[in-house]
Structure 1
Amino acid sequence: MTHAISDAMTMTDRSMRLARRNLDTLFAAILLPLMMMALFVYVFGGAITTGTEYINYIVPGILLLTTGYGAASTAMVVADDMHSGMIDRLRSLPIHSFAVLTGHVAASVARNALSTAIVVLASLAMGFRPNGGLVDWLGVVGLLLLYVVGMSWLAAGLGVIARSVESASTLSFFMLFIPYLSSAFVRPESMPAWLRPVSEHQPITPVTETVRSFLIGTPIGNYGWVALAWCCALLVFSMALATSLYRRRTNR
């Protein structure tokens, strides 16, 4: 157990070093959510009715969109390792197989924490006015952390099966697309009748609504428990899937 933890810390350090070298990927994961937030607030916001200031409504969705961009970059980094010969070199070393993906996931969480903090600061500058207290913010951090870890493991699994770095980007596209079909940007009631069930019965909506409730005090209903259940299920499923795929690809 101690050996596995040591291996995971070593691989995390390696992944963090790679992240510092690939600053363009980090900048993209920060810049794109900021651009989307500015686009929706300043261009589309005036035409969308949500019952509150649109900047207050949209920020929780932007936070989840930010994690999607971060997870997509994780899939590409893992795919690069799989096809550059790095994994073959690691197989020749006494490194626990679980540690390789753990390092990438830990680095993904760190990148997402930085990009999320920057997005929050930018939203405050744009007029976002949350009224949640310390406990509410801790709830937001805890839920987003659970969601990010689950998404990062899922992205790592996609990176394992991707045939190239480019295909890894394509496979992870749904992480960026699903939030648009949720309550992140518009109220589900405004959607066509055939699309509304998709918005109401997917993980992004309860997570977004829970974060929104913590930050601006909207009714939470059952969203909190549903969001927690979705995030835990995502984490368990993604870890099992990623590790299984990795062992099958590397015969470890």
Structure 2
Amino acid sequence: MSTTYTVRDSATMLRRNLLHIRRYPSLSIMLIAQPILFLLLFVYVFGGTLGAGLPGQEGGGDRGDYLVFITPGILFMTVASVALGTAISTATDMNTGIIARFRTMNIARVSVLTGHVLGAVIRTGFAVVIVAAFAFLLGFRSDAGPLDWLGAVGLLILVAFSLTWLTVGMGLAADSVETASNTPLFLMILPFVSSSFVPTDAMPTGLRQFAEHQPFTPMIDTLRALVTGTSTGSDPWFAIGWCVLIALLGYLWSRRLFLRVPAK
């Protein structure tokens, strides 16, 4: 099938997923509400204590400093939360028989998966804007310039793209929608064992080594440096490398499952 037909079919599947988002907004609301609740919890319940322990603050930081520190991690969790919703929607398609019907139609098979991924990236964009606006309402301020913000947006899109391909594979591999809702939960847990909420230097040795070498830490550190206008160092290269690797493995896994595993 030609590239033209693949693009056309992908656009059709994207439109289908966007209609689902508009007609069933409850899932999107839940996925956006979760990171907002985390933001409120950590800033107003733990922010005073955790902010006082932030490095580089004369006399210790305060709740406002902690808001600046934690916001990039919350934005990352927003991306992971929407990716989790993609696993659920993919598993729903697999278990309702619509995939079997698509396979009888003269369409590019990869377009079904592409529609899910592109739809998730667009939904991620809306979710990130809402959560970021909420952080600004709480008092988040930044010295980042236009290029820094452009880099932050690009990184979030890349992270969303890579995690979505991974969760599409999880949705295809799940034997039920319930399983698909639980399998990607590690994407919400791993940020807690990273630099999202506290500096990794404050962790015990073994946990610190894990936190510093897991994929999410360089992504969050890069995002934090970009949105605060500080030096990124070598973290962007590690962040991009991990994103490319996750996206490639997720795509190959998803494609293999979609082509070989019968729809349920």
Are 2:168 and 1:160 equivalent residues in the alignment?
Answer: no
When the two chains are superposed, the root-mean-square deviation of aligned CA atoms in Å is: 1.1
Opposite residue 106 of structure 1, the aligned amino acid is L
2:145 to 133, 145, 149: 133
Is the contact between residue 87 and residue 170 of structure 2 (CA under 8 Å) also seen in structure 1?
A: yes
Is the contact between residue 165 and residue 250 of structure 2 (CA under 8 Å) also seen in structure 1?
A: yes
Opposite residue 220 of structure 2, the aligned amino acid is T
Is the contact between residue 7 and residue 111 of structure 2 (CA under 8 Å) also seen in structure 1?
A: yes
Aligned residue in 1 for 2:62: none
Alpha-carbon distance in structure 2 between the residues aligned to 1:250 and 1:135: 46
Are 2:29 and 1:27 equivalent residues in the alignment?
Answer: yes
Are 2:223 and 1:223 equivalent residues in the alignment?
Answer: no
Are 2:13 and 1:11 equivalent residues in the alignment?
Answer: yes
Alpha-carbon distance in structure 2 between the residues aligned to 1:24 and 1:166: 17
Aligned residue in 2 for 1:44: 46
Is the contact between residue 145 and residue 229 of structure 2 (CA under 8 Å) also seen in structure 1?
A: no
1:114-125 correspondence runs (5 A):
114-125=126-137
SS in 1 for 2:253: helix
Aligned residue in 1 for 2:61: none
Post-superposition offset of 1:217: 3.1
Please say which of residues 226-235 and 114-123 is displaced more in the overlay: 226-235
Identity within the alignment, %? 38
SS in 1 for 2:205: coil
1:45-64 correspondence runs (5 A):
45-48=47-50, 49-51=53-55, 53-64=65-76
Alpha-carbon distance in structure 1 between the residues aligned to 2:102 and 2:135: 42
Please say which of residues 89-98 and 74-83 is displaced more in the overlay: 89-98
Where structure 2 has 5 or more consecutive residues not aligned to the other structure, the ranges are: 58-64
Alpha-carbon distance in structure 1 between the residues aligned to 2:260 and 2:209: 36
Alpha-carbon distance in structure 1 between the residues aligned to 2:54 and 2:167: 32
Structure 1 stretches (4+) deviating beyond 3 angstroms? none
Is the contact between residue 166 and residue 254 of structure 2 (CA under 8 Å) also seen in structure 1?
A: yes
TM-score (norm 1): 0.97
2:189 to 177, 181, 206: 177
Q: Deviations over 1:131-172 (max 9, x none)?
A: 111000000011110110010111100000101111001111
Is the contact between residue 148 and residue 229 of structure 2 (CA under 8 Å) also seen in structure 1?
A: no
Q: Deviations over 1:28-75 (max 9, x none)?
A: 111111010000000011111223510000000001100111001100
Alpha-carbon distance in structure 2 between the residues aligned to 1:222 and 1:46: 31
Please say which of residues 45-54 and 222-231 is displaced more in the overlay: 45-54
Alpha-carbon distance in structure 2 between the residues aligned to 1:38 and 1:63: 13
SS in 1 for 2:34: helix
Count the aligned residue pairs: 251
Q: Deviations over 1:216-251 (max 9, x none)?
A: 134422111111111111111111111111111149
SS in 1 for 2:261: helix
Aligned residue in 2 for 1:76: 88
Are 2:202 and 1:198 equivalent residues in the alignment?
Answer: no
